[in-house]
Structure 1
Amino acid sequence: MSSSKRPLNSASSAKSKRRKNEGQSRLDSFFGHASPSKVKPDSPKKRVPKDPEIIDVDSLDNELSTNQSSASLSQTASLQLHPITFIQTQHEPGETSAPQYTSLAVDPISFDPQTAYVPHSNGILYSFLAHALSTVSGTRSRIAILDTLTNYFRTVIVHHPQSLLPSLYLLSNTLSPPYSVLELNIGPSIISHAIQQVSGLSSASLKKLYSSSGDPGDVAFIAKSNTRTLLPHPPLLVTSVYKSLLKIATCKGQGATKEKQKIIEKLLVSAKGEEIRFLVRTLSQNLRVGAVRTSLLTALARGFVLTPLTPAHKESSLYASPDLLSSIQPIATGSRKKKPTTEIARDELLAKFRLAEHLLRKVFVQHPDYDHIVDALLEGGLDDLPERVPLTVGIPVYPALGSPIRSFDEVFERLNDMPFAAELKYDGQRAQIHASRQSDGRIYTGVFSRHLEDMTSKYPDVAALMQALFKQHQDTQSLIIDSEVVAIDCATGSLKSFQALSGRARKDVSLQEVEIPVAVFAFDLIYLDGNVLLERPFRARRNLLRTRFPAFIPENKLVARFQHVESCDSEEGQVPLQNFWESVVSRHQEGLMLKLLDDEVRDSENAERKRKLLSAVYDADKRTFSWMKLKKDYVSGLGDSLDLIPIGAWYGNGRKVNWWSPVLLGIWDPSRGYPVAVCKCMSGFTDAFYKTLSERYSLDDATNCSKSRLWHCEVGGFKPDVYFKPQEVWEIRGADVTLSPVSIAAQHLTSSSKGLSLRFPRFVRLRDDKSITQASDASFLANMWRSQQGKSKEDDGDELIDISNDSGGDYAEMDNESE
């Protein structure tokens, strides 16, 4: 494998906040807010125009200057919003027109990458990538999405393998691995000015177009649809677009804004047809397509099964030979079935697919770097990929996750009396700590969040702890520890809340500047001295952690402490377990993590069961019942619930792209006579509920849902994509009532500049028996907060991550939540 442009055993120089797919909420100010009384809202679902037309934007300014009605404009602009076919635009004589491509959403068996794309001398045309994105964005079928991506990757592998890596980053709407994030750092105004400069339209024209479409990509598409250029421009390439984005991300200092706008203008001038739409969406960090990481990895694996690069690849057991493919009957477009056919040859192909997909996903969660993976795939194919791209110190592993449960009875039922450990769930920040002894004697340390963000510069005291730990254990060469970093009182050793921890600076902190001391509570050891421990049972990993690295309190108080998590094993009996649980609740801790100690063994009693046996291995990036979390807000009967009013929502991501998620909830303010926003909620919902919610609150029905705030409500610092008509009440449970800088709910009752919010809210049920005036009010919320006697925690109110698992469950996660 070729070497990377980043050293593996050095801390990344890219320090930034966690990347989030902010969706439409980030774009509300893209061209300004629309007038709620003049603009008819559009549906969030993708429309497929039967006869797409090109808008004559040359006359748009004139029409606006003569006060053309916005209704007429909206009707005109809506003709070209979300086509699913590649549209060829008008061009000057001598200018190369956008090519026409065959459909990518076909059975890969019948797809020929050699004939589907006319090679370009310098690489893959960006228009071909835009064609793939357009196809993916126009369908909800997972089969069609996978077919499209698989056929796209096969074409790239055949015609220009060097475009594979840029394609992956552009399709994933990223520029680099998650642990070394490069941010575009461009505001809406830069993109808006670039579109104005290229299209010649005024700001007022763009605002009108945006109010009709709600998407900057659609605005740019319409604005440039009739733009002429004096000289033909060379076509955009996937590699050149990606390099331009890297230039934008690395622009620093004075003049950076002008330089970024200049690069964007060059891209827009050369862009044609669908290239314009997806280029601007990429710049806005919101592609609005249903292809997530799992889909990309699945399609990439299938692409390499079907497309060998060298004769050596053809010897692989994972390669699908021409003889095998020729014996399979292709499935016609539109008749694809979710269940595989009984055809023996196709079953053999699907088996190869499954093996390749499992292999690639396993490699990625242990080594999430497309640079290294693509290099290895192009060099040696799928064979021996885990050995060529191994788990590496300095590159974070996707963390194992826990499934929520509601009682110890459920634990014993699921684990069938198998031994487990109950660990205290700390109110801190999960941290994966990497350390290794360098050849020059120095100790490299990397600290990564549960979202793989590099936090090393935030925790110099943890880095100093690793220096001291390696000094104590001279035989230790390298390690990766999973842990929780918790704020502590150095004098007493008592634990502080996450609110205290959140007071630390996010980056570039020196050891002498540390004002909030922390302790590292280690709970897992996943790598030690070159040995990957992921496949060992949890009992073995825990024993090795405790015996090899005992608890350690450095003499220097500026250095973090090293401790093991407090725990109680089920083998001690149910009474000690219950006492441990009651102790956790009385100390106002979050709850427990319950972890299977040993692999489940099939015996005579469960020999006939078809379910998969539980494993005590470290399942990276998986939510299983080998790890379970019992939080005090999950336990029935503990604490009061709140009756809240849904007043808005955001566009969902990934699996929930066509639903509203999360939902903005509010309390009733009797003094104002309308709701006041208190928190987001995205936990406790079923798929069926999401569907009915989308039907009740559809942008096609302006009486219940609108992009503009048509109904009286106060949202504080929340910025939802859409607003709901306040008309129903939901029962909600949560962990704590907490101070929040974005909520203004009950602000006048907190003696603080901050309002109150609900931490880890979870939907319980719809309260048909209550009207919105009977919902919980500010006094009720404030009384709950006071009754917590100082255990409330600060929440920034905007840290929800939309996570979906295979079982269809939904969980609200935050940075401070350990698993």
Structure 2
Amino acid sequence: MFILRRAQPPLSPQVTSCRSKQFVKYLQKRIAAAHEGLELGIGDASIIKALAEACGAKESQIKTRYKELGDLGLVAKASRSSQSLMRKPEALTVAKVFDTFRLIAKESGKDSQEKKKNHIKALLVAATDCEPQYLIRLLQTKLRIGLAEQTLLVALGHAAVYSEKHSSAPGHIDSPLEEAAKIVKQVYSVIPVYDKMVPALLTGGVWNLSKTCSFTPGVPIGPMLAKPTKGVSEILDKFQDMVFTCEYKYDGERAQIHYMENGLVEIYSRNAERNTEKFPDVKIAVSRLKKPSVTSFVLDCELVAYDREKQKILPFQVLSTRARKNVKLNDIKVNVCIFAFDILYLNGKQLLQEQLNIRREHLYSSFEEQHGYFLFATAITSNDLEEIQKFLETSVDSSCEGLIVKTLDRDATYEPSKRSNNWLKLKKDYMESIGDSLDLVPIAAFHGRGKRAGVYGAFLLACYDSNNDEYQSICKIGTGFSEAMLEERSASLRSKVIPDPKSYYRYAETINPDVWFEPAEVWEVKAADLTISPVHRAAIGDVDPEKGISLRFPRLLRVREDKSPEQATSSEMVAEMYNAQKLNQRDKQVENEDD
């Protein structure tokens, strides 16, 4: 296959670095970091056209074989292997394929789809043996190697240890492989760009990676996340003898705003996607309301729909009606207010290792507030149960979801991509049932019958186990859908259908869905409670050696377009929620017995 071919004589360090970066991106199934916003922008129709022209076949023939085999890659392999060639094509290389993919992604404007098709056709004409199969799967982002990003990061760390012939691990490290993997994961959470990490690993080694590859404005870091709690008393128990602060939890869109030295502003989602064109009004607001002494910053905030006349926060559903791309200022009908709660970088200095109270001081002294445009998150510092309860009620009355509670202790640093014990969240509906909602991935579906004929009648949802890099089934959901919602979700997932379940799906053999999906969407789901299940595999082994955890009476709240499947609720979190529920039930039982 083309990605294994090497040029002779031996490659220079610069070429090795370039090839390594490209190879890693193939494994990552991306051609660029998420924040670059560079996508191939091609569908199966364009790929089928290119394949038909490259093989001298009719599109109808390719489509028929695709239906029979269920894998366009296998169709490509069979079609090319049966075709005689006048001359042997020039061998494909990593660089050639990667550069062509970048060209495909950058084609735009008139005839762009035709140009993309021709690029694909040229690759297919040059492909031999099994190369067409993997080319097509790469173009479809269906490489099917059962590889999650955490596995790739661990592999990079291990490879760095094995390749460092002239540098041994520091003496205090007992397990170099584990420590190297930890370093790579940590650095990736701060600067998730393989173009920077791989060269740094090759030149400076893994033990210096945090020094040679650090937080950079213009590259979004993984946001710090909060753990759920079920009540104010639980917060007081967890933060006993600690100083902590409570902030409103706003119902908007998490955003990371980067303001560079040259005045350039970039806005990124919690999933590291570039949202700058979606919020031109936010760009203007932060540039206008920063103080003159501020030359650069990275702001962690929530963008919330806002009625400026009534000075009132609007629901998330209103914000979701805004256009996603190429938004013109004059066309904006839904205004947003920036609610800032943290600052991660200021005037050339990163603040991740600073305590929260210091970061807050920097935040408050760097911006001017203006109602409806830019406000600091409403906050109090208190450990009084009644005061916090009242503050929670006030936040709900102000159209917020609840509270985020944060420690102000010495270790209150910013922890990228981590659901930290230093941040707890308390939402208004947590006391109703299991506590937090869950973000789950639909991995399969069952055909609808009767009134639901023609759409999927139910879906199999899964949580994500980052330790084992697998999606574990947690429930079957089929109630609470309106007809329109069911049709919308069915239509969206039809393009994600795959012939067989992924090797990294974990489920009981007794579950027999009609179709399986690529892990592509994340759904926010609420349930009555969690229970031990002999059928589902969520957090199996954590609370029971042979059984998993499932949800009772799940219902869909919304689709989380700001999350990737690997950012779904973890199996570890599911186990924690189950244990918290069990503890809460036991406490209530004791209270009833006392009564």
The bucket for the TM-score relative to the shorter chain is 0.7 to 0.9
- Classify the secondary structure of the residue corresponding to 1:635: helix
Mapped contact 2:434–2:527 kept (Cα < 8 A)? no
User: Taking structure 1 as reference, are residues 414 and 651 closer, same or farther at Cα in structure 2, changes over 3 Å only?
Assistant: closer
CA distance in 2, matches of 1:301, 1:765: 36
Q: Which residue of 2 aligns with 1:21?
A: none
Q: Which residue of 1 aligns with 2:177?
A: 353
CA distance in 1, matches of 2:416, 2:526: 26
Which of 152, 163, 179 is the aligned partner of 2:35?
179
Amino acid in the other structure paired with 1:226: S
Matched residues, number: 519
CA distance in 2, matches of 1:247, 1:297: 27
CA distance in 2, matches of 1:766, 1:679: 27
Describe the superposition over 1:623-659 as per-residue Cα deviations: whole angstroms up to 9, x where unpaired: 12222222233323599x9xxx971348998866565
Written as runs of structure 1 = structure 2, the 5 A alignment for 1:539-550 is 539-546=357-364, 548-549=365-366
Q: Which residue of 1 aligns with 2:479?
A: 666
CA distance in 2, matches of 1:676, 1:463: 36
User: Taking structure 1 as reference, are residues 360 and 269 closer, same or farther at Cα in structure 2, changes over 3 Å only?
Assistant: same
Q: Which residue of 2 aligns with 1:120?
A: 7
Mapped contact 1:569–1:577 kept (Cα < 8 A)? no
The alpha carbon displacement at 1:797 in A equals: 7.6
- Asked if 1:296 corresponds to 2:116, the answer is no
CA distance in 2, matches of 1:638, 1:300: 38
The alpha carbon displacement at 1:567 in A equals: 2.2
- Classify the secondary structure of the residue corresponding to 2:432: coil
Amino acid in the other structure paired with 1:589: C
Q: Which residue of 2 aligns with 1:627?
A: 423
CA distance in 1, matches of 2:532, 2:212: 56
The alpha carbon displacement at 1:427 in A equals: 1.1
CA distance in 2, matches of 1:760, 1:587: 24
Amino acid in the other structure paired with 1:553: Q
| TM-score in terms of structure 2 length | 0.76
Which of 565, 568, 583 is the aligned partner of 2:377?
565
User: Taking structure 1 as reference, are residues 695 and 231 closer, same or farther at Cα in structure 2, changes over 3 Å only?
Assistant: same
- Asked if 1:450 corresponds to 2:270, the answer is yes
CA distance in 1, matches of 2:80, 2:473: 31
Unaligned runs of 5+ in 2: 438-445, 447-456, 491-503, 534-551, 576-595
Which protein has the larger Cα radius of gyration, Structure 1 or Structure 2?
A: 1
| TM-score in terms of structure 1 length | 0.56
The alpha carbon displacement at 1:260 in A equals: 1.7
- Asked if 1:616 corresponds to 2:472, the answer is no
Amino acid in the other structure paired with 1:497: P
Which of 220, 235, 241 is the aligned partner of 1:396?
220
- Classify the secondary structure of the residue corresponding to 1:433: strand
CA distance in 2, matches of 1:358, 1:286: 28
Describe the superposition over 1:91-150 as per-residue Cα deviations: whole angstroms up to 9, x where unpaired: xxxxxxx69x9xxxxxxxxxxxxxxx88433899xxxxxxxxxxxxxxxxxxxxxxxxxx
Q: Which residue of 2 aligns with 1:492?
A: 310
CA distance in 2, matches of 1:506, 1:635: 34
Amino acid in the other structure paired with 1:463: K
Describe the superposition over 1:31-60 as per-residue Cα deviations: whole angstroms up to 9, x where unpaired: xxxxxxxxxxxxxxxxxxxxxxxxxxxxxx
The alpha carbon displacement at 1:695 in A equals: 2.1
CA distance in 2, matches of 1:550, 1:522: 10
Q: Which residue of 1 aligns with 2:591?
A: none
Amino acid in the other structure paired with 1:409: S
The alpha carbon displacement at 1:796 in A equals: 6.0
Amino acid in the other structure paired with 1:594: V
Q: Which residue of 1 aligns with 2:94?
A: 238
Describe the superposition over 1:296-343 as per-residue Cα deviations: whole angstroms up to 9, x where unpaired: 2222222222224xxxx72x3439xxxxxxxxxxxxxxxxxxxxxxxx
User: Taking structure 1 as reference, are residues 122 and 414 closer, same or farther at Cα in structure 2, changes over 3 Å only?
Assistant: farther
Written as runs of structure 1 = structure 2, the 5 A alignment for 1:566-645 is 566-571=378-383, 573-599=384-410, 615-637=411-433
- Name whichever of 659-668 and 376-385 sits farther off: 659-668
User: Taking structure 1 as reference, are residues 416 and 262 closer, same or farther at Cα in structure 2, changes over 3 Å only?
Assistant: same
User: Taking structure 1 as reference, are residues 348 and 580 closer, same or farther at Cα in structure 2, changes over 3 Å only?
Assistant: closer
Written as runs of structure 1 = structure 2, the 5 A alignment for 1:65-464 is 119-121=6-8, 160-308=16-164, 314=166, 316-318=167-169, 351-438=175-262, 443-464=263-284
Amino acid in the other structure paired with 2:313: L
Which of 498, 509, 520 is the aligned partner of 1:695?
509
The alpha carbon displacement at 1:381 in A equals: 3.0
Unaligned runs of 5+ in 1: 1-97, 102-116, 125-155, 320-346, 555-559, 600-614, 681-689, 699-704, 708-719, 723-757, 769-774, 786-792, 812-819
CA distance in 2, matches of 1:276, 1:665: 39
The alpha carbon displacement at 1:189 in A equals: 0.7
The structure whose residues are more often strand, as a share, is: 2
Written as runs of structure 1 = structure 2, the 5 A alignment for 1:614-763 is 615-637=411-433, 647-649=458-460, 665-667=478-480, 693-698=507-512, 705-707=513-515, 721=517, 760-762=525-527
Q: Which residue of 2 aligns with 1:535?
A: 353
Mapped contact 1:647–1:677 kept (Cα < 8 A)? no
Q: Which residue of 1 aligns with 2:369?
A: 552
User: Taking structure 1 as reference, are residues 694 and 209 closer, same or farther at Cα in structure 2, changes over 3 Å only?
Assistant: farther
Q: Which residue of 2 aligns with 1:505?
A: 323
The structure whose residues are more often helix, as a share, is: 2
User: Taking structure 1 as reference, are residues 157 and 409 closer, same or farther at Cα in structure 2, changes over 3 Å only?
Assistant: farther
CA distance in 1, matches of 2:506, 2:185: 33
CA distance in 2, matches of 1:217, 1:161: 29
The alpha carbon displacement at 1:371 in A equals: 1.7
Pairwise CA RMSD: 4.1
Mapped contact 1:363–1:390 kept (Cα < 8 A)? yes
Which of 466, 469, 478 is the aligned partner of 2:286?
466
- Classify the secondary structure of the residue corresponding to 1:254: coil
CA distance in 1, matches of 2:229, 2:66: 45
- Classify the secondary structure of the residue corresponding to 2:216: coil
Amino acid in the other structure paired with 1:761: K
Mapped contact 2:258–2:267 kept (Cα < 8 A)? yes
CA distance in 2, matches of 1:377, 1:631: 42
